[in-house]
Amino acid sequence: MDNNNPFEIAMRNFDTAADRLGINENMRNRIKHPVRALIVSIPVRMDDGSVRRFEGYRVQHSTMRGPAKGGVRYHPQVNLDEVKALATWMTWKCAISGIPFGGGKGGICCNPKEMSPAELERMTRRYIIEIMPIIGPEKDIPAPDVYTNAQTMAWMMDTFSMNKGYAVPGIVTGKPLEIGGSLGREFATARGTVYTVESGAKYIGLDLSKATCAVQGFGNAGSNAARLISELGTKVVAVSDSQGGIFSSKGLDIDAVIQHKKETGSVIGFAGAEDISNEELLIIDCDVLIPAALENVLTEKNAADVKAKIIAEAANGPTTPEADKILEEKNVFIIPDILANAGGVTVSYFEWVQNVQHLFWKEEEINERLRTIMDVAFKSVIEYKEKYNVYMRIAANMLGINRVAQAAKVRGLYP
Ligand code: GLU
């Protein structure tokens, strides 16, 4: 077994949670594995006239509680097992949040940093055509993920709509506002993460206004989480991106770091801060650690050196089960990915509801509803943690899996 294969990790965590819940083999055979996976070839005409082939995926792990839902990732590490794992986590995430979706995920193995906007647009449009048979506002609804954004969603919406012959805003979420996007969606993942950190801090008795924080990853989730948590008075002492990190014991001015990254392409070299590596960031002296990049960054190699009291996983799958064991022994309070980053898909759900209703909400209403869902989800996971005396990751998995199992039970097995 490959310890760092995210899908094997997802399946291992499923078994641990299902054992604890006493879910029988028949039910496991119905809800554990992805229900559908599509692999597509995406030929793209590059700007120099050559044609390159990219491999793309769309996986639907579950449609038990509603349409599949989940983002699309553009990254050189994307592969079928990673997308299967990410789709699986979406299933439990939607169930924990109580939103009526199953789990899905998509991805294209490519290096978006080396592609022009025009090449990315052609690749995106061809990908959507290739997966069109299995997506739709009632079937499976893509959204942004690593290295995709509102513009990517606009191309997806346009491609799907042109082929239908009418505008279908509900085909994707995370769209620009001009075509049916939702207020608050852009910051929703980070906002949700920070809401769970507030709940977690209260739970363990940590005063966030006197606390320090480090954020690994400075994309949509990481940069906004850093900004929002600093608004609570927490000192953000370190942040990093794929090129490296920066540290200042006095605390970083996050708006200025965002500006610096816009201008130079990275957080490194920020005036008044010391450059550090990503490895150093994860074990830096801080109270709250927010991994907000990719999978498997907290492993058996560095978990023992983690200083944080709270780890809030804005990224999907940043912690391996081996690291989990070490962190549990150290009594680190983990807010697992399927809880900590559920704010993104929650506001995606609001966007989809607004699209099917053709009726739009105010930003305050969205943030308030998001707060309610995140608070209820946090409380529900804590109830499982206390009732079954399990670690937060397993408690979250148990809650999500149990809700999907209940749905499967009442629906019955077809035929
Ligand atoms: N990609 C995000 C996630 O991992 C958002 C998914 C969505 O909004 O559907 O949760």
CA of 200 to the centre of ligand 1 (A): 22
Catalytic amino acids?
Answer: 105
Inter-residue contact 286 to 307 (CB < 8 Å):
yes
Whether the per-residue pLDDT at 10 is higher than 80: the answer is yes
- Peptide bond between residue 6 and the one before it cis (omega within 30 degrees of 0): no
Q: Which atom of ligand 1 is nearest to the CA of 69?
A: 9
pLDDT band with cut points at 50, 70 and 90 for residue 1:
low
Ligand 1 centre to CA of 344 (Å) is 5
Top mutation candidate among 348, 350, 355, 366 for ligand 1, by most atoms within 8 Å of CB? 348
Average pLDDT over residues 168-177: 98
Separation of CA 179 and ligand 1 centre (Å): 19
**Strand spans (E) along 165-320:** 212-216, 235-241, 244-247, 274-276, 288-291, 310-312
Helix 220-230 vs helix 188-204: crossing angle, to nearest 10:
50
Between residues 337 and 1, which one has the greater pLDDT?
A: 337
Ligand 1 centre to CA of 69 (Å) is 7
Across the beta sheet with 103-109, the strand order is 36-45, 51-62, 103-109, 68-75, 140-144
Question: Which residue among 74, 145, 187 is best mutated to probe the pocket of ligand 1, counting the most ligand atoms within 8 A of its Cβ?
Answer: 145
User: pLDDT tens-digit profile of 341-370?
Assistant: 999 999 999 999 999 999 999 999 999 999
Q: What is the predicted pLDDT for the residue at 227?
A: 98
| Closest-lying ligand 1 atom to the alpha carbon of residue 86 | 4
Q: What is the pLDDT of residues 64-78, one digit of tens each?
A: 999 999 999 999 999
Atom of ligand 1 nearest to the CA of 70: 9
- Read off the tokens for 4: 């760092």
DSSP per-residue string spanning 343-370: HHHHHHHHHHHHHHHT----HHHHHHHH
Closest CA to 37 of 64, 13, 58, 10: 58
Q: Which residue has the tokens 């799907």?
A: 160
**Mutation test residue for ligand 1: of 135, 341, 355, 373, the one with most atoms within 8 Å of CB:** 341
User: What are 382's two structure tokens?
Assistant: 């804590």
pLDDT band at 2 (very low <50, low <70, confident <90, very high): confident
Q: How far is the CA of 269 from the centre of ligand 1 (A)?
A: 31
State the Cα angle at 347 between 341 and 353, rounded to 5°: 145
Q: What is the pLDDT of residue 50?
A: 98
Mean pLDDT of 284-313: 98
- Nearest-atom number in ligand 1 for the CA of 141 is 9
The CA 71 to ligand 1 mean position distance, Å, reads: 5
Q: What is the pLDDT of residues 156-171, one digit of tens each?
A: 999 999 999 999 999 9
Q: Which ligand 1 atom minimizes the distance to the CA of 341?
A: 10
Residue 33 in this model has a pLDDT that exceeds 70: yes
295 CA → ligand 1 middle, Å: 15
Pocket-forming residues, ligand 1, beta carbon under 6 Å:
69-71, 143, 145, 173, 316, 341, 344-345, 348
Among 72, 90, 337, 366, which is best to mutate for testing ligand 1, by the most ligand atoms less than 8 A from CB? 90
| CA nearest ligand 1 atom 9, residue | 70
Angle at 309 between CA 306 and CA 314, to 5 degrees: 80
Atom of ligand 1 nearest to the CA of 142: 9
Q: What are the pLDDT digits (tens) for 235-244?
A: 999 999 999 9
Q: Is the pLDDT of residue 82 over 70?
A: yes
pLDDT reading at 59 higher than 70: yes
| SS3 state of residue 201 | helix
What domains are there in the chain, each with its CATH number?
6-168 (3.40.50.10860), 188-331 (3.40.50.720)
pLDDT at 3: 74
Helix axes 363-388, 392-411, angle to 10 degrees: 100
